[in-house]
Amino acid sequence: MRKEKNASLISFALGFVGKKQLKILKKASKNCLAEEEKTLRGILEYAKDTEWGKAHHYDEILAATTPEDLFSRYQKNVPAQDYEDLRPLIERHKNGEENILFPGKPMMYATTSGTTNAPKWIPITQSYYENVYSKMTKLWLYSFMMHRPKVFWGKCVSIVGKVIEGYAPDGTICGSVSGVTQRDCPEFIKGLYSAPSDVFHISDYHARNYALMRTGIEQYVTLFITANPSTMIELQKTVDENLDEMIKDIENGTLSKKFEISNEIRAALEPNYHPNKARADELRALKEKYGRILPKHYWPDFQVITTWRCGNTHVYTEKISDYFPKGTLHQEFGYFASECRAGLVMNGDCDTVPFPHAHYFEFTDADDMDNPNPKFYQLHELKEGKRYLIYITTYAGLYRYNMNDMIEVTGHYGTIPTIQFIQKVNGIISMTGEKVHERQFIEAVKEAEQSTGMKTRFYVGFADVENSVYHYYFDFMDENTTQEKAEEFSKTVDANLKKINVEFEAKRDSFRIKDPITHIMKPNAFEDYKIEALAKGMARDGQFKLNLLMQDEKRHAIFKGLVKNV
């Protein structure tokens, strides 16, 4: 196995800063109750002079003398929140007001899907960025070295978002935290990345994927980082369809003109390319030998891929299980959302260690989710094998914030319970990170009815994780509706949903979610469904209700039998 230039220096530097953060985590793991108390006090002290802190009596809460009293006062004075509760205050920050939810203004915002047609703007404060993202990234990279010491001997293909995607009214940037983290990392770490950040400004996903893999396949790569394993499937598809073009580009030191890439971005990328006949010949020989070439062929010394593996994503991880060399570590990306970087996977498997020294966590029993006044548990109170809903408090203005996520406790790291993500809750479907809410689907259908004049008696949608596609079932008022007209209606629903949900738009545009599949149901199909569901004991008559967007193969199987023959 060969080394890239500066590999030893990069490994040494990451080892030095990573070990320091690991030491801090291990210290925190000795008494997570004490760390949670310390963290909550720190956040309350940080925000006590803000409009929010004064309105919720943070000074009074801080007067508590025991951890139990502190937690109790916090629950009493601060109700659990969701984003819509906080949106008006965040809007004030966006318009330039300071000291509302946190001191000053945020350094940036990250956007993600909300439960309405307005996306969430998640504030990222300088304090949160420096103490969570910056420090945790160093430990995260070091964690790869703990399991595969040669992981940084080659380049890293890392999928990040744009640093700047837009601006708040007051001029504060809205962008990708991963992009900002990569932008701000030390120069020695920047040398790890296979492609410059300009690649992520290519708007056409076909072109972006081509540029990423044309660049990456030429290089000696040992690490691949992306949250969604479906991204790797799309990138390999790009190689399958364009290998000859890539080989020609590598041989000539060019970037194909077949793809829609602006002159400005081309000018930024092309200085990185030089004629490389030797690598082109290697790839031709691999193609001749194997036919379809995979990462295990073009990156034979590959060490680590990190993606999500929990929840629905296991379907995609199974599809890429044979892509990489034997012995490759496929590490879980960890419990990570726009709202928080809750912790890291430290065991090389799937268990996230929540960081009690960076966030304050609360939980409710998953079996208690319909209770309007559930009991809240502290991190140290969680029981192995049980499932909970998670609430977070951060240095970025989120207080007792409902993540709408179900997690399961899998073990312990010292005294810290380890967790795995199970699923979104409360009507949210997420096959590959799109987080589509039932009410968004309903809104998309209603808007389609208004714009097309086509009316439905009933409709329902199902997520097909295995095939990464949504199935739409419609019972149209006009029983003579053709399949062609129904598919046009579905396209309108799909377009509306893309406008409503930015995450769904990104996953559709990047081909991680395929075009929807349309089914016309028999007239009055809902009544037939209800009869069969009740007969199978899937519900009781007096409590019968049906979500209109589901990931449920048992119910989906019933609707497959209610399709009209057209």
Element (H, E) at 508: helix 502-509
Instruction: Establish how many alpha carbons lie within 13 A of residue 246's alpha carbon, considering only the half-sphere containing its beta carbon.
Output: 28
Helices 32-47, 7-29: inter-axial angle, 10-degree rounding: 100
Lookup: tokens for 537: 């004991």
Q: What is the pLDDT of residue 545?
A: 56
Q: What is the pLDDT of residue 538?
A: 60
Chain-centre distance for alpha carbon 289: 37
Identify whether the C-beta of residue 301 lies closer than 8 Å to the C-beta of residue 222: yes
Virtual torsion, Cα 321, 153, 344, 433, nearest 10 deg:
-50
* Residue length of the chain: 566
pTM of the full structure: 0.79
Maximum separation of any 2 CA atoms in the chain, in Å: 73
Identify whether the C-beta of residue 344 lies closer than 8 Å to the C-beta of residue 355: yes
Identify whether the C-beta of residue 71 lies closer than 8 Å to the C-beta of residue 40: yes
- The three-state secondary structure class of 236 is helix
Lookup: tokens for 168: 């708040």
Give alpha helix (H) positions in 57-113. Answer: 58-62, 67-77, 83-94
Identify whether the C-beta of residue 513 lies closer than 8 Å to the C-beta of residue 507: yes
Element (H, E) at 534: helix 525-535
Lookup: tokens for 181: 């983290």
Closest CA to 295 of 200, 155, 467, 201: 155
Q: What is the pLDDT of residue 51?
A: 98
Angle ∠(290,293,295) on CA atoms, nearest 5 = 135
- In this structure, the number of other CB atoms found within 10 A of the CB of residue 371 comes to 10
143-167 burial by CB neighbour count: b if 16+ within 10 A, else e? bbbbebeebbbbbbbbbbbbbeeee
Quickly list DSSP for 481-498.
--HHHHHHHHHHHHHHHH
Provide the 8-state DSSP code for 426.
S
Q: What is the pLDDT of residue 541?
A: 40
Residues in the chain where the model's pLDDT stays below 50:
540-544
Lookup: tokens for 105: 């203004």
Q: Which residues contact 181 (CB under 8 A, 6 or more apart)?
A: 133, 134, 137, 160
Q: What is the pLDDT of residue 425?
A: 79
- Give the full edge-to-edge strand order of the sheet including 120-124: 120-124, 108-112, 173-174, 166-167
Lookup: tokens for 371: 């209770």
Chain-centre distance for alpha carbon 136: 17
Provide the 8-state DSSP code for 433.
S
Closest CA to 3 of 150, 142, 223: 150
State which amino acid sits at residue 172.
T
Separation of alpha carbons 137 and 10, rounded Å: 14
State which amino acid sits at residue 95.
N
